[in-house]
Chains A and B, each alone.
Chain A
């Protein structure tokens, strides 16, 4: 087990290292480089000045040398400054990460609370009208472009009904909890509608499979009530594989929240990544992207570990 975790952490580290090089290289290929931006800001700058600046910042060196310099500084804890926010990168990153985690926490909570019961109801009467209805909701949720869903919710709840604000940005630092929740309502709704599907579909197929098992028949034969059979005997076992979706969904949500956060101007990781890429804030974009990769991979790892912890039959040794 410890060995397995070790290997997985090693793999994660390798992927992060490769990704950091790839993203570093890609960012060098983005339109506009830092010196061009400085030239644009200062009309008096001559081409000699520009060349001198390039040398000063090491931009005349080949890409791998620049990468190694960056990596050395980064490993030493110096991740650089964000051009867009004029703050050290990490000072910008932590609040954004916190905001995203709050958003995802609510989303996962609502998806589970709505998605799992839907899946159970569908599984109790497979191929019935209810089942088809749940299936339809699930397909509809995954088939809607998230940005369009967000816009529809804005049209309905902000423009027509005027209940929730169209922007999730809180500028007032001592806004009440109620105001904060109100502002987050639409982003949470958008993300939840999207991820209900994976919970209800998985729950349905697990439940159907479990309800066919012998021990369920035994429980029924003993005279257990149907509620008890479903909630006590079947549900517990059907929940185990759902844990995997937690992890996978977390990664999914983490990058998928980018669209929702950007549209609602919610100051989370997704918006940070988008803004820093669009705003040529290379230091910020690099770290934020690497962090997103790390979070996604950690989500997957936790899912695998949680799965094994809940279901002791799973062995990590004999992995094919």
Chain B
């Protein structure tokens, strides 16, 4: 009695099966969803607690945790929890947007280098090597400290509230594309030799069509994995720059700039220093474990972890 052959399974359901085995990665995904939902419902928390993220109350500085302020208040009497939630919005958004932008940029470069090959490829890859070798943090600090008015951006734009947000996303994405570019280029080199690419070419498909319709779907797994891992990395970079006062500018909160005054606060209110750091830590760690789980689920043949 031979068993009835099972229905064929889609790639996605196979990947989901493999992913489900990763309890840690599942748990991390859950943490991230919780953080995101809580952060983006920050206004609800404000209404519920009857407070405002930017409400300064000097009579209530460094208040102990209470019903009104579940995590207490900061040095200006603002509610710590609500500010953490708003900070989460910004940090998560910066992380995801910058990682996504870098992935798009890296994918384009990788596809073009891998598809055309030859001199073009070696030029792009030497450039990638050079960018990887640059001292990242010092350069980010220079770029974050630039006076954009001297580049010709209008004063009006410079004074808009979100400029520090756009700037940090742009400069992080500027250096973040290298991992994806290398991975995509490597994959493209093998995929372009496959028969279906030959078939497409013989039917007269244009180069962009071959790259985006035929090759791209085959290189998408490493892109997803590398992007997930890089979100954590971006959140770390954002927090460092904001900590030094070069990233997100107050009154807008981010997990990094909540720590800007931390060095003075460790003596009187260490709790204020601990919370934002813990949220960064759990978020980044979750993205790392999630990336690891996704790697096994989507891309089981590559053992090498992109770092």
Contacts and interface: CB of A to CB of B under 8 A. Distances in A.
Interface in A218-250: none
B262 interface: yes
Contact of B133 (A23, A148, A297): A297
A155 B134 CA distance: 33
Interface stretch (B56-64, B72-80, B144-152, B213-221): B144-152
B136 interface: yes
Contact of A145 (B138, B147, B274, B281): B281
Interface string A1-36: 000000000010001001100010011111110000
B270 interface: yes
Contacts of A251: 133, 135
Given A19-B134, A296-B133, A143 B232 contact: yes
Contact of B266 (A154, A254, A270, A297): A154
B147 A30 contact: yes
Contacts of B151: 29
Interface string B112-142: 0000000000000010001001111111011
Contact of A15 (B130, B256, B277): B130
B144 to A, nearest CB: 10
Interface stretch (A51-59, A86-94, A273-281): A273-281
Interface in B285-305: 285, 288-289, 303, 305
Contacts of B206: none
B266 A155 contact: yes
B138 A258 contact: yes
Chain B interface secondary structure, helix, strand, loop or mixed? helix
Given A139-B288, A147-B240, A296-B133, 13 more contacts: A11-B130, A23-B142, A143-B281, A145-B236, A148-B276, A251-B135, A262-B244, A270-B138, A273-B141, A274-B138, A274-B244, A285-B142, A293-B133
Interface of B: 126, 130, 133-139, 141-143, 145-147, 150-151, 232, 236, 239-240, 243-244, 256, 259, 262-263, 266-267, 270, 273-274, 276-277, 280-281, 284-285, 288-289, 303, 305, 307
Interface of A: 11, 15, 18-19, 23, 26-32, 139-140, 142-148, 151-152, 154-155, 159, 198, 201, 205, 251, 254-256, 258-259, 262-263, 270, 273-274, 277-278, 285, 288-289, 292-293, 296-297, 300
Top-5 shortest CB links A-B: A255-B135, A148-B277, A143-B285, A31-B147, A143-B284
